[in-house]
Chains A and B, each alone.
Chain A
Amino acid sequence: MSLLEIENVSKRFGGVQAVDDVSLHVDEGEILGIIGPNGAGKTTLFNLITGTIRSDTGKISLAGADITTTSPTKRARAGIGRTFQVVRPFLRMTVAENVMVPVLVHTHKVSEARNKAVALLEELGIGKLADLDVSQLTLAQRKRIEVARALATEPKVLLLDEVLAGLNNREVLDVLPFVNQVRARGISIIMIEHLVKALTSVSDRIIVLDQGTLIAQGKSDDVLKDPAVIKAYIGEEDNVEG
């Protein structure tokens, strides 16, 4: 049995079939990469997993428990953490306070929660940002705070929605080790990313979405050679890593 199992999930918005009968699973400690052209339904799939959107069909289960109709809050508590494609820090709060918000779900004492939040930030190598206001941070720093905040929920599965988007090469190399650090904690990861090279370097397995359907899955090398993927994702038979 896999940690997270998604069976035959679909979602339609008016005339658009955003996600069409998708099934996938993530094992414990695994990093699953999701690629696909714009509008392929990647973020919708994330919203279905976190419960922000209810699926029209199918079943989602986490560690054997059916969570298909569970609220986003309860899913987060059950162990599904996420980051957002566009960073969403809590404004007018410091970095430490941002991380305290999820810590306070389990830790009721404020001073204790603060210590835990600072300890987590230090563990991730960004301890010196703790007392800064989030509005003072660069995008790369905000992305890291977003990951730290999601980690503070103590997730079993972490959903990373384009954490590398908008970063320059140097910053990408900075954030990537972060992903491995998360895995080292025994947390499974599902990553959406447009940077195929960066994604394949950290993923164990890749799935490809196109117009809501899952068109390929497997080891990254095999998947990227799949003619269907090349046709849908790249358009022409050309350099895949472009």
Chain B
Amino acid sequence: MKRSHLISGVVVLALMAFLPLIIGQYLLNNAVLIVMFVGITVAWNIAAFGGALSLGHAAFFGLGSYTMAILLLDFGVNPWIGMLAGMVVAAGGGLLLSIPLLRLRGPFFTLASIAFAEVIRLVAVYARDFTGGSEGLTIPYAPGWLNMSFSDREPYYYIVLGLTAIAVLVSVWIYYSRVGYQLRASGSDDEATRALGVNTAVLKVVALVISAALTGAFGAFAAQYFFIVDPETNFSLNLYSIQPALNGIIGGAGTVLGPILGAVLMTPIGEYMRGAFAGQQGLNFMIYGVVLVGVVMLMPGGLVSGIEKLRARFRLKRGVGRRTDTTAALDESRAEDRL
């Protein structure tokens, strides 16, 4: 990890911490959602480092929500401990999803991940005794830090900001670690990576389990924030499987910054359109689809790669900047090849 990354991260976090002092309660609700989706997308993206494009992360989110809620309601377990337990259960779910991950390639794994999440959602619907069936579970209102329950939005905001900071830290740490390099190689070409003596199966499982556990933490948080846990919301394919995947792909899946950018950009657009086109059902999804097609066609590597290309072009035009050394080396070596 480079020092400049750490510094810019700390600066952004500090600025974010002052946000509740500036904006009101309504906007703060949006801020909580945006920060939460940044966290969920970053967590989803850790599996994507290794090339796993999952559309089953709603399962991990819901497992986190339900574990915390059931432990609290049936056994009186403290929500903070419930959150940790939710991460463990979600990690177990990740281990389960590793079975198709290691056997199926690309889109076939993606399809299997949807089925996986649907099966778990149906279990939540039918295991009525534990889960309350379709009506779900209601979290009792008992304000206080110990109960992770508040009348104002500020504390929630700081909790989700902390969780997201942890997710980003884990993601950056993995990206620049030994595991990260080998994982990214595997995401680019798994067979070639194995031919170099890298045991990619273990790496992919580890990445998916970490990704699942982090997603589970956000699920537990959401249960406390919305005071309600039900199968349609907490295992929602749209909200917690497709949304993080879209955010990640639009921003640049497999990069560090991409998922953050994608979530920051797309969450408010999604929220706005849901309100603005409330009359015409489905129109918001259509516009969303158009945006996705546009981004994928114009910038196949996502916003991050698009921005990088623009910057490179700008620098070449100006003939200045950090990359001149490398571009000079490139020109030189190409000239040699042409001789």
Q: Contact check, B188 vs A90: say whether CB atoms are below 8 A apart.
A: yes
In the assembled complex, A73 has its CB within 8 A of some CB on chain B: yes
- Chain B residues near A183 (CB, 8 Å)? none
Specify which of A50, A90, A132 is in contact with B184 (CB 8 Å cutoff): A90
- Chain B residues near A181 (CB, 8 Å)? none
Nearest residue in B to A171 (C-beta to C-beta)? B337
In the assembled complex, B193 has its CB within 8 A of some CB on chain A: yes
How many A-B contacts are there with CB distance less than 8 Å? 97
Q: Contact check, B192 vs A90: say whether CB atoms are below 8 A apart.
A: yes
In the assembled complex, A110 has its CB within 8 A of some CB on chain B: yes
Specify which of B177, B188, B196, B197 is in contact with A110 (CB 8 Å cutoff): B177
Smallest beta-carbon distance B194→chain A, Å: 5
Q: Contact check, B196 vs A149: say whether CB atoms are below 8 A apart.
A: yes
- Chain B residues near A141 (CB, 8 Å)? 333, 337
- Chain A residues near B194 (CB, 8 Å)? 71-73, 76
In the assembled complex, A115 has its CB within 8 A of some CB on chain B: no
- Chain B interface main SS type: helix
Contact with A along B175-193 (1 / 0, CB 8 A): 0111001101100110111
Specify which of A88, A105, A113, A150 is in contact with B198 (CB 8 Å cutoff): A105
- Chain A residues near B255 (CB, 8 Å)? 92
Nearest residue in A to B188 (C-beta to C-beta)? A90
Nearest residue in A to B338 (C-beta to C-beta)? A170
Q: Please, how many angstroms separate the alpha-carbon atoms of A60 and B188 in the complex?
A: 30
Specify which of B181, B254, B330, B334 is in contact with A101 (CB 8 Å cutoff): B181
Smallest beta-carbon distance A30→chain B, Å: 22
- Tell whether A128 pairs with B184 under 8 Å between CB atoms, given A77-B197, A82-B195, A170-B339: no
- Chain A interface main SS type: helix
- Tell whether A150 pairs with B196 under 8 Å between CB atoms, given A110-B177, A128-B329, A136-B330: yes
- Tell whether A84 pairs with B192 under 8 Å between CB atoms, given A90-B185, A101-B185, A102-B197: yes
In the assembled complex, B92 has its CB within 8 A of some CB on chain A: no
In the assembled complex, B280 has its CB within 8 A of some CB on chain A: no
Specify which of B189, B196, B330, B332 is in contact with A76 (CB 8 Å cutoff): B196
B305-335 at interface with A (beta carbon < 8 Å): 305, 326, 329-330, 332-334
Nearest residue in A to B323 (C-beta to C-beta)? A131
Contact with A along B216-228 (1 / 0, CB 8 A): 0000000000000
Specify which of B196, B330, B334 is in contact with A102 (CB 8 Å cutoff): B196
| Interface residue tally for chain A (C-beta within 8 Å) | 42
In the assembled complex, B199 has its CB within 8 A of some CB on chain A: yes
- Tell whether A101 pairs with B301 under 8 Å between CB atoms, given A138-B337, A140-B337: no
Q: Contact check, A102 vs B192: say whether CB atoms are below 8 A apart.
A: no
Among A89, A92, A102, A170, the most chain B Cβ lie within 10 Å of the Cβ of A92
Nearest residue in B to A94 (C-beta to C-beta)? B326
Contact with B along A169-211 (1 / 0, CB 8 A): 0110010000000000000000000000000000000000000
Q: Contact check, A73 vs B197: say whether CB atoms are below 8 A apart.
A: yes
Q: Please, how many angstroms separate the alpha-carbon atoms of A153 and B194 in the complex?
A: 11
Q: Contact check, B301 vs A110: say whether CB atoms are below 8 A apart.
A: no
In the assembled complex, A91 has its CB within 8 A of some CB on chain B: yes
Q: Contact check, B330 vs A91: say whether CB atoms are below 8 A apart.
A: no
In the assembled complex, A228 has its CB within 8 A of some CB on chain B: no
Nearest residue in B to A149 (C-beta to C-beta)? B196
- Chain A residues near B178 (CB, 8 Å)? 104, 108-110, 113
Q: Contact check, B337 vs A93: say whether CB atoms are below 8 A apart.
A: no
Specify which of A82, A104, A136 is in contact with B182 (CB 8 Å cutoff): A104
- Tell whether A105 pairs with B337 under 8 Å between CB atoms, given A88-B189, A90-B184, A90-B189: no
Q: Please, how many angstroms separate the alpha-carbon atoms of A101 and B203 in the complex?
A: 13
A positions within 8 Å CB-CB of B: 50, 52, 71-73, 76-77, 81-82, 84, 88-93, 97-98, 100-102, 104-105, 108-110, 113, 128-129, 131-132, 136, 138, 140-141, 149-150, 152-153, 170-171, 174
5 residue pairs, one from A and one from B, having the closest CB atoms: A76-B197, A102-B196, A90-B188, A77-B197, A88-B192
Q: 10 A-B residue contacts at CB 8 Å?
A: A72-B195, A73-B197, A88-B189, A93-B188, A105-B197, A109-B178, A110-B177, A113-B178, A149-B196, A152-B196
Given contacts A71-B194, A90-B189, A153-B196, 8 further A-B contacts (CB under 8 A): A82-B195, A90-B184, A90-B185, A93-B184, A93-B185, A129-B333, A136-B330, A171-B337
